[in-house]
Amino acid sequence: MLAIVAPGQGAQTPGFLAPWLTGPAVDTVTAFSEAAGIDLAYYGTDADAEAIRDTAIAQPLLVAAGLVAAQALTGDSTVPFRGADIAAGHSVGEITAAAGVGVISPRDAVSLVRERALGMAEASALRPTTMAAVVRGDAAAVVAAIEALGATAANHNGSGQIVAAGTAEQIAELKANPPSGSRVVPLSVAGAFHTSHMEPGRVRLAAAAASLRATDPALTLLSNADGAVVAHGADYLARLVNQVTSPVRWDLCMATMAALGVTGILELPPSGTLTGIAKRNLAGVALFNLNTPDQLDDARAFVAEHASTSSQEA
């Protein structure tokens, strides 16, 4: 049983798109750049870490990179995750997953993430906000400490990591006084995502989503809201909108993967974050980090080893 997963904002690193800019992918990235309104090839190859930290840059770049790699992996531009059993994305990675299973087209996904990114960037500019990972510590005590500061436990990433989001002052206070037994690590993001601070972004995304026609997913698709399997495209699109101001429950997504019998997880580029979380939470599950095209043959072998017979025949 194979899951393909797409990472969220903060996973990006300078130059991570560069290896993929060969052959047909060049034209794909050009088309995605038009949909995003930015030069993705430049930002994915030459821009520095600070430039791609910008929400309006990072989010389209992540979605585009994930879809380029998925299309290269499967050869399917309509359902790029075809051959997997399960799909999920973390935060903005949910838009990658939506296109990966055919809920919306890849180009519509990049157009949609552009509006999400611009709306969240605008919301972030209203007041300095940020996020930080709280590593280790008792989960209940960590959540209590975050909430005591007026911040939000915005990402529940399973044992060993809860991400706090709030004003810059709240997160600075959390870092200065971490919960017992924990360590607070600032994240490379520009706002308090998945909190009420992002309401202007949710409104902008809702307007953009209203113009799209969603189709039902071609394979099992999980939601960050509650880890549930979502069978209807319109429902998933609505969840994408509401997730902008709601916590990411990646812990529940992993619980669903375990319940469904996942044996292998392949993470799309820039990979490593979600497989790292899975390593701590899903004992015995094989992991594959896809980051460069020279890994594609090995990645296809990994897919063939773990995907169910029905998904490979689809």
CATH 3.40.630.30 fits 125-186, yes or no: no
194 is catalytic: yes
Catalytic-labelled residue, pool 33, 91, 271, 311: 91
In this structure, what are the phi and psi dihedrals at residue 26, rounded to the nearest 5 degrees? -60, -45
| Catalytic-labelled residue, pool 194, 197, 223, 246 | 194
Taking a C-beta distance cutoff of 8 angstroms, is the pair 40, 60 a contact? yes
Residue 188, pLDDT score:
73
pLDDT at 247: 97
pLDDT tens track for 266-276: 999 999 999 99
Contacts with 184 (C-beta within 8 Å, 6 or more apart), sequence order:
132, 133, 134, 135, 164, 171, 174, 175, 178
Q: What are phi and psi of 167, to 5 degrees?
A: -70, 160
Q: What are 219's two structure tokens?
A: 């394979």
What is the structure's pLDDT at 310?
62
> pTM value?
0.95
User: Domain ranges in the chain?
Assistant: 2-124+196-313, 125-186
**Helix then strand then coil, % of the chain, to nearest 5:** 50, 15, 35
Positions in the chain whose pLDDT score sits under 70 = 309-314
- 243 in Cβ contact with 237 (< 8 Å): no
What does the radius of gyration of the chain's CA atoms come to, in whole angstroms? 18
pLDDT of residue 312: 59
- Give the span between the Cα atoms of 298 and 310, in whole angstroms: 21
The dihedral over CA atoms of 182, 10, 231, 229, expressed in degrees to the nearest 10, equals: -20
Q: Which of 242, 266, 224 is nearest to 86 (CA)?
A: 266
CATH 2.60.130.10 corresponds to the domain 2-124+196-313: no
Which pLDDT value is given to residue 119? 95
Helices 106-125 and 55-74 meet at what angle, rounded to 10?
160
